[in-house]
Amino acid sequence: MTFGIVLMTIVYTFIRYVYSKEIFYISYCFMQIFSLLYIVQYSGFWDISLPFRDLFLIFASLSAFVFAINFFQGKFVPIMKNYKELVFNTLLLNIVILSSFYHYMLFEYLPYTIIYGILFTSIIFNLKSSFKPTLVYVLGWSILCLLLFIFDFKSYYEQKGFMDLVLLAFAIEAILFTVSVSYKYDTLKQEKKEFENMLFQQSKLAKSGEMIANITHQFRQPLNNLSYILINLKKRFLKEELDKEYFEKKISQANNQIEFLSKTINDFKEFYSPSKKREIFSVKEAILNVQTILQADFKKYNISLDVSYKTDENIKVFGIKNELSQVFLAILSNSKDALKNVEEPKIEIEVNSSSAEVTILISNNGPKIEENNLSKLFKPYFSTKEEGTGLGLFLCKQIIEESFNGKIEVFNNKKRVVFSLLIEKAVI
């Protein structure tokens, strides 16, 4: 049974490493490989000289040390501000040393004692922090050691001729590790999600200066119009020529300008909101939000934007609306940059749908993307622009795949560069 558990742990940690590339997985995998070789020889199944068994133990111990350091959380040496803290931390360190020594006396297997001692240090020197993966592991071993000490179980176990405690330790270690690493995996997933959210907000803020310039540009004309309306009203009033029909006409014009300003502010506010509310919304809404934001830039560079719907204009998807707007903004901004030196620059957005999916094609007539760069465009920090952050398209991929269960790709088609977005259709 022990051999089977250890072998399963080896396979499990190797697979985890392949997907996550975390060092603590592969180091634990190597430790268990050398541990398996050790217990096979220890149990008499493999007739091999003692130096080889010692060699397996050394490599298992080194691997255990690498694992424990990488799995370690918090500060290894606490900051001590006064004499009382020095005494208190010295006492805690003595507890760790004695517990680790007893752990070794019980199970007589150094690699597991190394892990236990280092991770125990992580817990006691970071008491105010919550390190669930480490706590589960240390607490499990500590309770077991305490019970064995209280009931003097080791002597009883040996007298009855049961399985060697060393072999029992391998099974216990595998179980505790599996429970601990499941907590660790959840922690890593949460950290990854928080990191992506941070990148998402950074990507928005990176363009904040450009967005403010767009707001200024879009406000200038409506404010000028309001100014002319007020001048005309004042002129008519002073000449006593202000009749009801003319007054209502100008008031209606002023309200239209104010509504435009209000809509612009709401569009920008919605786009920059960190809202994570998932809802059913139309693709058209997300496109219109971005059109409002980029309208000034497109006008500046004489870029023509053509949006066509080969399906119902109000086709809906399920997800976070401002995240889809962020995807459109990143792709359209990249298209805008690529079209700065192109005659008759044009961007086309085509929305199509099937019974289950919505397809959005965003293309431009800018220069083609080099074939060797196509596969790199969605990687973090890769950019073909000198001033680029390399975050925009990476976040697009994360959003489409994780928030919308979709797919995004880019390819060259004749004289156009095409971004293809495939998103699940909302079930209404």
Report how far apart, in Å, the C-alpha atoms of 87 and of each of 66, 82, 90 are.
29, 9, 5
User: For 281-310, how does the pLDDT look when each residue is reduced to its tens digit (9 = 90+)?
Assistant: 999 988 988 887 788 788 888 999 999 999
β pairing state of 304-309 and 346-353:
parallel
Per-residue pLDDT for 56 more than 70?
yes
Rounded to the nearest angstrom, the gap between the alpha carbon of residue 379 and the centroid of all alpha carbons in its chain is 13
User: For 239-277, how does the pLDDT look when each residue is reduced to its tens digit (9 = 90+)?
Assistant: 888 888 889 988 998 898 888 788 777 766 666 666 667
Answer for the pair 400, 394: CB distance below 8 angstroms, yes or no: no
User: For 337-350, how does the pLDDT look when each residue is reduced to its tens digit (9 = 90+)?
Assistant: 889 888 889 999 99
**Coarse DSSP helix, strand, coil percentages of the chain, rounded to the nearest 5 percent:** 65, 10, 25
User: For 164-216, how does the pLDDT look when each residue is reduced to its tens digit (9 = 90+)?
Assistant: 666 667 777 777 777 777 777 777 777 777 776 776 666 666 656 656 666 67
Q: CATH for 277-428, among 3.40.190.10, 3.40.1160.10, 3.30.2270.10, 3.30.565.10?
A: 3.30.565.10
Answer for the pair 395, 325: CB distance below 8 angstroms, yes or no: no
Q: What is the sign of the dihedral through the CA atoms of 279, 285, 290 and 296? A: negative
Mean pLDDT of the chain: 80
- The more confident residue out of 203 and 57 is 57
Rounded to the nearest angstrom, the gap between the alpha carbon of residue 61 and the centroid of all alpha carbons in its chain is 33
> Structure pTM?
0.51
Taking the C-alpha atoms of residue 232 and residue 312, their distance in angstroms, rounded to an integer, is: 44
- The more confident residue out of 220 and 236 is 236
Percent of the chain whose predicted confidence (pLDDT) is above 70: 79
Which pLDDT belongs to residue 167?
66
CA dihedral 182, 188, 191, 193 (to 10 degrees): -90
Q: For the ranges 104-113, 125-134, 219-228, which has the lowest average pLDDT? A: 125-134
Percent of the chain whose predicted confidence (pLDDT) is above 90: 15
Question: How does DSSP assign 217-282, residue by residue?
Answer: HHHHHHHHHHHHHHHHHHHHHHTT---HHHHHHHHHHHHHHHHHHHHHHHHHHHHH------EEEE
∠ at Cα 142 (141, 143), nearest 5°? 95
Domain segments of the chain as ranges: 2-195, 207-272, 277-428
Rounded to the nearest angstrom, the gap between the alpha carbon of residue 264 and the centroid of all alpha carbons in its chain is 31
Which pLDDT belongs to residue 129?
61
Taking the C-alpha atoms of residue 343 and residue 371, their distance in angstroms, rounded to an integer, is: 23
Q: Give the residue from 381, 382, 384 showing the smallest Cα distance to 417.
A: 384
The identity of residue 194, as a single letter, is E
- The more confident residue out of 383 and 300 is 300
Query: DSSP state, 425?
Result: B
Which pLDDT belongs to residue 414?
79
